[in-house]
Amino acid sequence: MDLQLPGMSGIAVIERLKANELTAHIPIVAVTAFAMSTDETRARAAGCVGFITKPINTREFPQQVNDFLDMKVQKTT
């Protein structure tokens, strides 16, 4: 989830997804140019399981996402 979306903040979208019982279980990773620690804190408080800053390293990105998803799976089992 990008945190800077046209028309609505990514944080607002995350909060809506997490408030809906049909989508609340979906793990969300923030991928954003916002790199301040407060941005990560806000994203995680909204429900993100991970936080990746741009520009992304395309060689590391798939493994980073996989690691965050593995963490979420471990928490629910």
Per-residue buried b or exposed e for 16-33, using 16+ beta carbons within 10 Å of the residue's own CB: ebbeeeeeeeebbbbbbe
Q: How many CB atoms lie within 10 A of CB 11?
A: 20
Q: Is the pLDDT of residue 73 over 70?
A: no
29-58 tens-digit pLDDT: 999 887 888 999 999 999 999 899 999 999
Which CATH fold would you assign to the domain 10-76? Rossmann fold (3.40.50)
- Residue ranges per structural domain of the chain: 10-76
Share of the chain above pLDDT 90, in %: 57
Model-level pTM?
Answer: 0.79
User: CB of 52 within 8 A of CB of 64?
Assistant: yes
